[in-house]
């Protein structure tokens, strides 16, 4: 008959005899949970390294070129927004805030045009891979539905807010919206975003940095409300 401490006694006896004590099997559900947590930690670590890599360009002579390239790439496939590098560069050299914002806007709009091309001509071979990489098929479908209801207003919101802009650019090409209107709305939305961030940093300096990084979603919402109000006002004037 095995007593309540039988397992412990058996392990102690195995240790005294030089054998390896038995290892209790890990339940399948727990193993799956541990694997999921490890995957999330790995993804977070990878994004953190990518974020640090993005920021390090602010301290190099190629900072301006890097800002343009990252803004371009983020509009179609790169996961880190150019705001991180833009903030670091403006903090380092506030008097160049307008130049930095302009370069960031130009790179982002041209990158958006590249995203549009992917959706227009390479959706099956490349576009879906990017969409699936970010798990954004539902968001892509929502963009199509919203575009049918609200037209370019939804694109303007995507250009300014934390909505993944790359999804909007690829979907715009796939739905073949007017390319000139796409470029104009992208320039207005992205320009408003980057000039707002750079302008606030120029006015208030380092203290505003944490505020922007913490409350950017709220600032975006306020901008969206103003944008919608502007469209309603234009509609009332017609």
DSSP code, position 58 = G
Question: What's CA 185's distance to the chain center, in Å?
Answer: 20
Q: What is the chain's length? A: 238
Tell me: pLDDT of 46 over 80.
Answer: no
Q: Which residues contact 191 (CB under 8 A, 6 or more apart)?
A: 101, 105
* pLDDT of amino acid 39: 52
Check if the beta carbon of residue 110 is closer than 8 Å to that of residue 72.
yes
For 101-222, strand residue ranges (E) read none
* pLDDT of amino acid 183: 94
* Cα–Cα distance for residue pair 230/224, rounded to 1 Å: 10
- What dihedral do alpha carbons 177, 66, 42, 220 form, nearest 10°? -50
* pLDDT of amino acid 41: 66
Check if the beta carbon of residue 82 is closer than 8 Å to that of residue 67.
yes
Nearest residue to 217 (alpha-carbon basis) of 157, 139, 161: 161
| Domain residue spans of the chain | 1-59, 61-237
pLDDT in tens, 160-188: 876 778 888 988 898 888 999 999 999 99
Mean pLDDT value across residues 203-219:
69
């Amino acid at each position: 008959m095995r007593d309540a401490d039988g397992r412990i006694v058996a392990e102690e006896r195995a240790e005294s005899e030089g054998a390896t004590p038995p290892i209790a099997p890990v339940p399948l559900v727990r193993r799956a949970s541990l694997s999921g947590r490890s995957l999330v930690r790995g993804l977070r670590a990878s994004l953190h390294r990518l974020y640090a890599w993005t920021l390090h360009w602010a301290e190099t002579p190629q900072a301006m070129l890097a800002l343009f390239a990252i803004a371009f790439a983020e509009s179609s496939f790169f996961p880190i927004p150019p705001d991180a590098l833009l903030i670091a560069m403006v903090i380092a050299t506030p008097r160049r805030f307008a130049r930095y914002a302009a370069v960031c806007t130009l790179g982002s709009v041209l990158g958006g045009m590249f995203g549009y091309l992917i959706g227009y001509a390479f959706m099956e071979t490349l576009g879906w891979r990017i969409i699936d990489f970010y798990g954004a098929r539902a968001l892509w479908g929502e963009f199509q539905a919203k575009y049918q209801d609200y037209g370019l207003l939804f694109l303007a919101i995507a250009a300014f807010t934390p909505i993944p802009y790359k999804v909007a650019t690829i979907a715009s090409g796939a739905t073949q919206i007017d390319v000139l209107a796409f470029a104009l709305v992208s320039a207005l939305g992205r320009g408003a975003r980057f000039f707002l961030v750079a302008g606030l940093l120029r006015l208030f300096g380092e203290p505003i940095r944490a505020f922007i990084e913490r409350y950017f979603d709220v600032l975006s919402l306020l901008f969206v409300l103003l944008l919608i109000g502007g469209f309603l006002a234009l509609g009332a004037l017609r």
